[in-house]
């Protein structure tokens, strides 16, 4: 994978953690199962009940992502 570009592939959150964008995840091509904030794959590799919790949070907070 090419060099990451801040603001395009990732950003730093308020706590200083690097957060990958949906664009980055789409380029990677699959869900890693870690419950990433911007996962465009509906957390398909995250185990239950965590997967359902993440999907519910996404709906509540309006962070609905769509596969491109």
Three-class SS state of 33: coil
Query: What is d(CA 27, CA 3) in angstroms, rounded to the nearest whole number?
Result: 12
pLDDT band at 68 (very low <50, low <70, confident <90, very high): very low
User: Which pLDDT belongs to residue 63?
Assistant: 65
User: Which pLDDT belongs to residue 64?
Assistant: 57
Output the pTM of the full model. 0.78
Q: Where are the domains of the chain?
A: 22-68
Per-residue pLDDT tens for 15-57? 999 999 999 999 999 999 999 999 999 999 999 999 999 999 9
């Amino acid at each position: 994978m090419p060099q990451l570009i801040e603001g395009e592939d990732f950003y730093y959150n308020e706590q200083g953690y690097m957060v990958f964008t949906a664009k980055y995840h789409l380029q990677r091509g699959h869900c890693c199962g870690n419950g990433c904030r911007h996962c465009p794959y509906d957390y398909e590799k995250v185990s239950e009940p965590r997967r359902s919790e993440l999907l519910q949070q996404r709906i509540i907070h309006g962070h609905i992502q769509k596969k491109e």
